[in-house]
Amino acid sequence: MAEASPNAFPVYWEQFHRDCRALAWRLKGVSEWKAIVCITRGGLVPAAIIARELGVRMIDTVCVASYHDYESQGEMQVLKPIDPSVIDVEGGDGEGVLIIDDLVDTGKTAKVVRAMLPKAHFAAVYAKPMGRPLVDTYITEVSQDTWIYFPWDMGLQFQAPIAKGPVG
C-alpha cells in the first residue's frame, strides 16, 4: 500500500471475534442453515467462527479475486467456483445457504457470488454504502472511503517511547 487511508479502521482479533459472534447471533433465527459458502480469503475466518457458533458442518469456499494489489479493485476473476453439492443443497438456488464475507465494499464480488446462489442469505461483518444493498445481514457500516485493516493484515512491531523520537 502506498499511503495509509486518512479514514483507517484497524480491527484487532478480539474485536473481530466479538463482531463475528454478534453476526452469528443475528443469523441464528433467520433460517436453519444447511451450508456456509465463504468468500476467500476474507470470509474464511468469520465463516469458521460463525460455523462453530451456529453448528454448521458443511462449509465450502468460492474464490473470487478483485483486489490484486491491495490498493484498487481490478477485473473480477472466479478462481474456484462453489462445489455443485453445495449449490444443490436445497434445489440449486441457494436457499438454506449462508454466504459469508468479511466486508462488502463496492458490491462487485457480492454480485458475482449472488448470481451463483440467488436465494442464499449474504452476511458480512462490515459493510460500506456501495455494497450494503447487496448484503442481507451485517454488523458495522463504515464510510466508503474507510480502509479496514483486518487482524491478518497487521503485525506486532516495536514502537519507541514518544520521548525518544523516531527510531532509525
- Tell me how far apart the alpha carbons of residues 12 and 108 are, in angstroms, rounded to a whole number: 26
Measuring CA to CA, which residue among 49, 58, 60 is closest to residue 102? Answer: 49
- Selected catalytic residue, list 19, 60, 101, 145: 101
What are the φ/ψ torsions at residue 127 (nearest 5 degrees)? -140, 145
Give the Å distances, CA to CA, from 123 to 3, 84, 88, 144. Answer: 30, 21, 20, 18
Catalytic residue (one of 105, 136, 145, 153): 105
Which is nearest to 141 in space by CA: 151, 153, 131, 152? 131
- Cα end-to-end distance, the chain, whole Å: 21
Residue of 60, 102, 145, 153 with catalytic role = 102
101 is catalytic: yes
Kindly list the catalytic residues.
101-102, 105
